[in-house]
Structure 1
């Protein structure tokens, strides 16, 4: 099962995207609809609201009078917290029931208006944000009968574009005509979501072609933080470090995000394998880093390997003993390259040369092995960098 979080500001056209995904076969869970469902007449939710806010929040038919309730909670944080304490657990429970009832091979799309505001992004394999320009949103809201002043107030109360972009794995621009965004949704479904779901279900990592070194991408840190948050959640809050070339600003690299996850032992690492696989990072078994320092026992450089199942975002995950020699070396190598421009340029030139040499190879194993002698030789320079107190 693939879990997709779908969100966007009011008037962005999120419902259009949700409807198209449903046409493709997605199981769409609409949080707004559930919020109405749990306070329908005769429900415990409606009873508790009436007890908390008074009978005047009910209309003559005994249904929820939404404007009356809104007037009581607007601008009153304590009242809003009381309302959320009544509705949120019920919405969450109903959401869980619907997810549990979905088929094993389902692509579950959770349509959540406040996904960003409530910090929910790490719960999903992928987050899709629907965007539209402000003027377009105001027109749509006006056509829905909302006065411009009220529309602007509601828009201002939600997360801004910067916060939405921070969590967006996929950004769908719906500022134009519906056919344009629907074409984007069709491509997303066929090229990414269907493949991603099967990879997660079959515990299979996404395959990529030969190594290609590209210029540094300024969005890599934000992408890394999104992925790291998912790994961290699946691993019970353990330490996750963004390492490798994409973690070094300005360094040309393969478009692959590398992480290391800290554990106390490889036995503990094995216990995390299923949780990581369910989160979209299937295990590849035991691995070993080349020993970088003479005298170290080879087993001190052992690890467990995982890779990303998302065909749209290559990821390597090294599960290592936190504070062990391999863990410390990866951080030291990263920080040295961040601080030493000459070393960074030297490494970039090597990577470009080796990528060209191995461009006909499928996968990156030969490319990675070709870098090892240089990286091992650089250990003395990394140690000197730290010994001299030049940490970044």
Structure 2
């Protein structure tokens, strides 16, 4: 099962995207629909709302008067917290029921307006964010009957574009005609969501071309999103972005490398199922090339990402061991030493050209070893961001 979070500001057109995904076969769970369901006439939640805010929030038919409730909570943070305390646990419980009832091979799309505000992004395999220019959103909301100032007030209470971009794996521009965003959704379904779901279900990792590419300034933000997902899956363990994509300005293979701190390899093994469920299937035990210290300190467990749109490698290493220490020191040395960084980039680009047909990257990695050995000696005195 693939869990996809779908969000965007009010008036952005999430329903257009959700509807298209449903046409393709996705199981869509709409948080707004559930929010209405849990406060339907006769429900315990509606009774609690009446007790908290007065009978004026219930209309003559016994249904929730949404306009009256909105007037109470939109400008009052305490009242809004009370509302959320009554409804959110019930919405969450109903969401969990629907997810558990979905087929094992489903792409479950959770349409959540407050995904960013409630810090939900790490719970999903992928987050889709629908964006529309602010003025277009206002026009749409006014056309639905909402007064312009109310529309702007509601937009102002939601997450900013920057906050949404920070958690978005896919940014869907819905400012134009519907056919434009729908064509993007169609391609996303076929090229990423369907194969991603199969990879997660079959415990299969995504592969890709091994060539070195120019530094991508979005790598740090991409890494932060993936690291949050890994941390959520592993119970908040320490996650470090390592490898070439963690060094600003350095050309690299487009693969995000992370190391996950564990106290033992047995603990690493205990995390295998959780990581696989989160989209990072295990590849087994590996030994890094020992560069100093005891050979046992270079053993690790390796996992890789199942997302065909974002390659990821996870190295589960004992925190404080030689392998863990070397990965951090090498990263920080390259960040601090411009000469070493340029040397390494030149070497990587040359070897990438030389071994262009090396599908598994083995020959490429072997060819780097003499430089890596020399680098270990050069960085031996590196401490706290200083080089000798």
The TM-score, its normalising length taken from structure 1, stands at 0.97
Runs of 4+ in 1 over 6 A off after TM superposition: none
Offset from partner CA, 1:294-330 (integer Å, 9 cap, x none) = xx22221000000000000010100000010000100
> Matched residue pairs, number?
387
1:40 aligns with 2:37: no
Match of 1:164 in 2: 164
Q: Provide the C-alpha distance between the structure 2 equivalents of 1:148 and 1:372, rounded to a whole number of angstroms.
A: 64
Cα deviation for residue 66 of structure 1 reads 1.2
Q: Provide the C-alpha distance between the structure 2 equivalents of 1:46 and 1:230, rounded to a whole number of angstroms.
A: 35
Q: Quick check: 378-387 or 297-306, which moved more?
A: 378-387
Match of 1:220 in 2: 219
1:324 aligns with 2:324: no
Q: Contact (CA 8 Å) 1:208, 1:363: kept in 2 or not?
A: no
Q: Provide the C-alpha distance between the structure 2 equivalents of 1:366 and 1:202, rounded to a whole number of angstroms.
A: 28
User: Which of 355, 359, 372 is matched with 1:358 structurally?
Assistant: 355
Match of 1:259 in 2: 258
Match of 2:181 in 1: 181
Q: What SS is found at the alignment partner of 1:385?
A: coil
Q: Contact (CA 8 Å) 1:131, 1:175: kept in 2 or not?
A: yes
Match of 1:122 in 2: 122
The TM-score, its normalising length taken from structure 2, stands at 0.98
Q: Provide the C-alpha distance between the structure 1 equivalents of 2:142 and 2:81, rounded to a whole number of angstroms.
A: 30
Offset from partner CA, 1:29-57 (integer Å, 9 cap, x none) = 00001000000001111111112222121
Match of 2:381 in 1: 384
Match of 2:370 in 1: 373
Q: Provide the C-alpha distance between the structure 1 equivalents of 2:74 and 2:108, rounded to a whole number of angstroms.
A: 32
Q: Provide the C-alpha distance between the structure 1 equivalents of 2:119 and 2:363, rounded to a whole number of angstroms.
A: 40
Offset from partner CA, 1:178-202 (integer Å, 9 cap, x none) = 0000000000000000000000000
Gaps of at least 5 residues in structure 1 are none
Match of 2:138 in 1: 138
Cα deviation for residue 147 of structure 1 reads 2.2
Gaps of at least 5 residues in structure 2 are none
Offset from partner CA, 1:143-181 (integer Å, 9 cap, x none) = 212222222221111111111110010001111110000
**RMSD of equivalent CA atoms:** 1.1
1:58 aligns with 2:54: no
Match of 1:243 in 2: 242
Q: What SS is found at the alignment partner of 1:383?
A: coil
Q: Quick one: structure 1 residues 284 and 165, their matched pair in 2 at CA, closer, same or farther if it must change by over 3 Å?
A: same
Alignment of 1:188-199 (within 5 A): 188-199=188-199
Q: What SS is found at the alignment partner of 2:105?
A: coil
1:234 aligns with 2:230: no
Offset from partner CA, 1:39-81 (integer Å, 9 cap, x none) = 0001111111112222121111111111222222232222211
Q: What SS is found at the alignment partner of 2:83?
A: helix
Q: Contact (CA 8 Å) 1:3, 1:126: kept in 2 or not?
A: yes
Q: What SS is found at the alignment partner of 1:231?
A: helix
Q: Provide the C-alpha distance between the structure 2 equivalents of 1:118 and 1:180, rounded to a whole number of angstroms.
A: 30
Offset from partner CA, 1:118-160 (integer Å, 9 cap, x none) = 1110000000000111222122122212222222221111111
Offset from partner CA, 1:333-365 (integer Å, 9 cap, x none) = 000000000000000000001101110121323
Cα deviation for residue 368 of structure 1 reads 2.0
Q: Provide the C-alpha distance between the structure 2 equivalents of 1:34 and 1:11, rounded to a whole number of angstroms.
A: 19
Q: What SS is found at the alignment partner of 1:386?
A: coil
